[in-house]
Amino acid sequence: MEVETGVLGPGRGDANHGGRVAHNRCMQALLVILLLLGPTLAGAAPWFDGARPSAQAREAVALLADAASHGLDPRVYGADALARELDDGSAADALGPRLDAALQRYLNDLHFGRIDPRTIHHGFRPLRRVPFDAAAEVQRALATGRMADAVQAAVPPLPTYGQLREALLRYRVLATHPAWASPLPPLPSLPSRPAKSKTDADAAWAGDALLHERLTALGDAAEGTPPDAALRSFQRRHGLDDDGVLGRATWAALQVTPAQRVRQIELTLERLRWTPLLQGPRMIVINVPEYVLRAYAVEDGRIRVQQTMKVVVGRAAVTRTPLIDEDLRAIEFSPYWNVPPSIARAELVPRLRRDPAHWSKEGYEFVGPGGRVETALSTARLDLVPGGGWRIRQRPGPRNALGDIKFVFPNAENIYLHHTPSVQLFDRARRDFSHGCIRIEQPEALAAWVLQGQPGWDLGRIRAAMTAGTSSTLKLDTPIPVLIAYATSLVKNGRIHFYDDVYGLDRQLDAALRQTATRR
């Protein structure tokens, strides 16, 4: 029914004024009723041709049944029950609305995820969520006759999402592979290299054949690949030192079953539904379990990685780096390091009491009320630091904990990116050593990328500001989104990579999702 909205108010001098007002009020009431009942009416009629299920109904149920390919559970959406009822000829007025509601729930889960990330990740709140109307997408798909378009509109528009779905399918097949029917035998007391010949000292290890079978099934040991090269390939894909040595960490990673990797991929797919990666022309993303920063540009809707570098993140045991979605707004050159109160109380003040020479060696100074600065170490002032009467900062210089540059994106946790004099840490495979802030491997390259298009800031001027020894702050003309994310599985160069759940956040998400599924 079409409602003529052009006659909702009468004109002056209309002879039928009273009748038209009554008519218009009736039409307005009818419009309200249609809007309220629209979902119910739409939930029945389009899904049926008379008493028979329409092609769209069959396709919608097939899409619900395919939820597992997205890492979701078809049972949550009643896919099997809906399929049986379609076949049994259940009444359209009862089945149609249920199918409509199930499809909308599925689309919302695909787009927003099944849980609110704030409930498990210390208040993490993605700022740039894309609006999505599941009911409108269902109606649009019904109108065009292409139900799959509704699913495509819901999923994250990221190449890595589709790549992870392909990896998910492959690892589900691997879950039945006989290479994981029994565990690898224990290692000898010393790390060993895979046997290259019967004369090798390591050839006696009972797991050689099973090791080769697993590496072959995983695609690391193609025909003719030397055993140590196959092991290096596996190690690179699992965030390990690629030394070709079968040590304890590599042995443990080889024991993880494909079924466990399936769950790891499913959890990453869930996190991608929270991840706003296409909300600006440029973006910086740090993946904590991978210990890697990437700087992106979005061109024609496609993500292009322009900078990649190693990072050091917060220690897993005590000072984890939080997940954050904020805007980079400024760069500080030759920065002061304002020692956080927690570090001052727990570490620095006790150290200075034991070793007063550490004060001048590291270039510390006191800052008191009103910004008063005292460079001499004083026991009296040191005693006031834990209570907040005075604070300690480190002057710019080669020993400064922040190095010579700091990237500022204001946030409640006071986390930022910075350089570090401890560059040897970037050579480690596992790099959780900081107090929470993120140390970057290539600060000059990142600064040059950030300042593209900002007049006068070429690499020479950046280097001069970094080594000036005098602190200065540069505000960015255009803020750049910074996302600190957590993904333990990624596809890089066409190959799946897995990383340790260094903070235990996958275990936390897994438990929350299982609780949600049980409630549903």
**pLDDT confidence of residue 197:** 43
What's at 191, amino acid-wise? P
- Please, what is the average pLDDT of the chain? 86
C-alpha distances (whole Å) from 338 to each of 199, 366, 394, 396, 455 are 60, 10, 6, 11, 30
CA distances from 240 to 223, 289, 499 (A): 23, 12, 9
Instruction: Provide the pLDDT for residue 88.
Output: 82
Structure tokens at 261: 């990797």
In whole angstroms, give the CA distance from residue 460 to residue 458: 6
- Mean pLDDT for the stretch of residues 261-279: 89
> Which of 278, 230, 281, 271 is CA-nearest to residue 254?
230
Q: What pLDDT, on the 0 to 100 scale, is given for residue 138?
A: 95
Scored b (16 or more CB within 10 A) or e, 399-418 reads ebbbbbbbbbbeeebebbbb
> 3-state DSSP call for residue 417?
strand
Q: In which residue are the tokens 């897993």 written? A: 316
- Predicted confidence at residue 385, as pLDDT, reads 94
| Residue 131: DSSP 8-state | P
The stretch 464-471 carries a mean pLDDT of 94
- Cβ distance 298 to 284 under 8 Å? no
Q: What is the pLDDT of residues 89-106, one digit of tens each?
A: 766 677 888 999 999 999
Name the pLDDT band for 274 (thresholds 50, 70, 90).
confident
Bin 279: left if φ > 0, else alpha if -120 < ψ < 50, else beta: alpha
What six digits make up the tokens of 458?
A: 């070429």
> What is the predicted pLDDT for the residue at 42?
44
Dihedrals phi, psi of 265, to nearest 5 degrees: -65, -40
pLDDT mean over 463-477: 95
Q: How many helices (H) and strands (E) does the chain have?
A: 18, 17
Percent of the chain's residues with pLDDT above 70: 86
* Token pair for 272: 């991608």
Does the pLDDT at position 47 exceed 50?
A: yes
Q: What is the mean pLDDT of residues 447-463?
A: 95
Residue type, 149: D
Instruction: Taking residues 406-424, report their average pLDDT.
Output: 94
DSSP assignment of 76-97 equals: GGTHHHHHHHHHHT--HHHHHH
Alpha carbon distances (Å) from 413 to 72, 246, 516 = 33, 40, 29
Of 489, 458, 492, the closest CA to residue 71 belongs to 489
pLDDT score, position 13: 37
pLDDT attached to residue 302: 82
Query: How far is it, in rounded angstroms, from Cα 407 to Cα 445?
Result: 13
pLDDT band at 243 (very low <50, low <70, confident <90, very high): very high
Q: CB under 8 Å to 379, separation ≥6 — which residues?
A: none
Provide the 3-class DSSP secondary structure of residue 474. strand
Q: How confident is the model at residue 486 (pLDDT cuts 50, 70, 90)?
A: very high
Q: Is the pLDDT of residue 125 over 90?
A: no
**What CA–CA distance (Å, rounded) separates 396 from 405?**
10
Helix, strand, coil: what percent of the chain each, to 5? 45, 15, 35
What is the reported pLDDT for 222? 87
Q: Which residue has the higher pLDDT, 84 or 519?
A: 84
Residue 12 has pLDDT above 70, yes or no: no
Query: How many angstroms separate the CA atoms of 219 and 230, rounded?
Result: 9
For residue 128, what pLDDT is reported? Answer: 66
Query: Distance between CA atoms of 92 and 53, rounded to whole angstroms?
Result: 8
Residue 81 contacts residue 95 (beta carbons within 8 Å)? no
First to last CA, the chain: 37
Domains of the chain: 45-155 (no CATH), 176-256 (1.10.101.10), 279-497 (2.40.440.10)
With left for phi above 0 and alpha for psi between -120 and 50, is residue 456 left, alpha or beta?
Answer: left
Residue 11 clears pLDDT 50, i.e. is over it: no
Question: Which of 204, 194, 294 is CA-nearest to residue 244?
Answer: 194
Q: How confident is the model at residue 203 (pLDDT cuts 50, 70, 90)?
A: low
| pLDDT at residue 9 tops 80 | no
- Residue 1 reports pLDDT greater than 90: no
Return phi, psi of residue 483, to 5°: -120, 120
- Checking if the pLDDT of 202 tops 70, the result is no
Query: Residue 288 pLDDT > 60, yes or no?
Result: yes
d(CA 286, CA 306): 14
Please write the tens of the pLDDT for every residue from 289-342: 999 999 999 888 788 999 999 999 999 988 999 999 999 999 999 999 999 998
Confirm if 430 and 453 have CB atoms less than 8 A apart.
no
pLDDT at 22 > cutoff 80: no
